[in-house]
Structure 1
């Protein structure tokens, strides 16, 4: 019921992920990222604990592959889970349990990995990886391009209703954390529209936190 991508920008070191599902509020349960550490998507009969656990393992020095191997060794009911991880060095790893739902598959390359379940066909994750690798610009633009590529080749077997994108950079909080928790339209396009709105202001929101004396105003009531 879900497909996702985890990725690292080789130029900036930003880490992030995008995810979409027929279930509501998928990004609230399935997307995790930590600046300078990595990004993890946990999906398919989701166990949200696996995201923070995977990040903790990578923060303690494990690579993405080592972290996923440790989760595979220690987590309960891991045969029901899909876990995707990318680490600070751009190494990627994926676990897809044999009890993953419907058509499930995965694809990965340096700096990017994608996986999904209940897919329309087994080519969706590879299309997502290829979409990311062929796109340019900000990592958020590339993540959205990748998800659109997945939709273009079929996406999930049924309609998707929720989506999210999360990106971390040099600060302790996500610099991008956009969600569409439910729509009858395409949630990926909803996220894309939100990103178009948010992108010009991203730097200002970080600046407001670090030193508001230098932060620009956008002219809304109370914003001075």
Structure 2
């Protein structure tokens, strides 16, 4: 009742999982990843021990394919399991037990594995094409493109409920203290993939570094736009400069990562103010 994709970016050294299911809080069950080691999606009567066990096997030198063989070897319910793995070298493997409910299957490609069960046929192939066609984009964007393509192709034949995106990289977490570069979940929603994409865009706005092309001096039309929005949002008042009002807005709304040198503003923040 789930479809997923595990992927690897050899340039940025990122590993990730994206998944959707007619199941509550799929992000608490399917994805598992460790920076420098690999990523795992475990589903269809999921054995959540597959995640940490797979990391141990890979760290001991096993490939993704060898890891799956070891995982299912001692699992009496292997015929009901489904798992996809990308290891620390980008090798990909997928397994679908014989008792997984139709349609069930998976496929692998360069640095990724896609798998799913109780699907509309064609879902897995559409996901693989979307991931491949998005080559050159950040891993998170490629994983979400695959997830969206899977849903557009039919996805889980029972419907939608939850979705999740996990991407890890060394010191990629908040403040650099862990490897959770992106860890987003939609636990119960009528259109969870669309909602996951929306939350991801917000995540990028809050935490991704500002792009040089969006940095503008606060003058002319930019100053007029910014002033209008700071007044509308209640931050620009008598006795407060536009720079002080902007700083108050950024710190109140958790946009510290977008704060610029005095006299400059990130226009992506201004555009967000206009939308909200």
TM-score w.r.t. length of structure 1: 0.88
1:157 aligns with 2:154: no
> Aligned Cα RMSD in Å?
1.9
Could you tell me how far 1:151 is from its partner in structure 2?
A: 1.2
SS of the residue corresponding to residue 143 of structure 2 reads helix
Moved over 2 A (4+): 200-204, 221-224
Could you tell me how far 1:11 is from its partner in structure 2?
A: 2.0
1:174 aligns with 2:180: yes
1:199 aligns with 2:198: no
SS of the residue corresponding to residue 20 of structure 2 reads strand
Counterpart in 2 of 1:134?
133
TM-score w.r.t. length of structure 2: 0.72
Counterpart in 1 of 2:80?
80
Task: Name the CA distance, whole Å, in 1 between partners of 2:65 and 2:55.
Answer: 12
Contact 2:206 2:254 in 1 (8 A): no
Structure 2: where are the runs of 5+ without partners?
A: 172-177, 210-246, 257-276
Counterpart in 2 of 1:34?
34
Counterpart in 1 of 2:102?
102
Structure 1: where are the runs of 5+ without partners?
A: 205-215
Could you tell me how far 1:80 is from its partner in structure 2?
A: 0.7
Counterpart in 2 of 1:219?
251
Task: Name the CA distance, whole Å, in 2 between partners of 1:190 and 1:222.
Answer: 21
Could you tell me how far 1:83 is from its partner in structure 2?
A: 0.8
Could you tell me how far 1:155 is from its partner in structure 2?
A: 0.9
Could you tell me how far 1:46 is from its partner in structure 2?
A: 1.3
SS of the residue corresponding to residue 120 of structure 2 reads coil
Contact 1:176 1:202 in 2 (8 A): no
Could you tell me how far 1:87 is from its partner in structure 2?
A: 0.8
Task: Name the CA distance, whole Å, in 2 between partners of 1:46 and 1:167.
Answer: 20
Give a deviation string over 1:16-49, Cα, whole Å, max 9, x none.
Answer: 0100000100110111000010000000011111
1:190 aligns with 2:189: no
Rg larger in 1 or in 2? 2
Give a deviation string over 1:135-191, Cα, whole Å, max 9, x none.
Answer: 14211111111111111211111211100000001124311000000012x101111
Contact 1:120 1:158 in 2 (8 A): no
Q: 1:221 to 1:159 in 2, by over 3 A?
A: closer
- 1 or 2 for the larger relative contact order (CA 8 Å, sep ≥6)? 1
SS of the residue corresponding to residue 93 of structure 1 reads strand
Q: How many residues align?
A: 211
Task: Name the CA distance, whole Å, in 2 between partners of 1:37 and 1:183.
Answer: 32
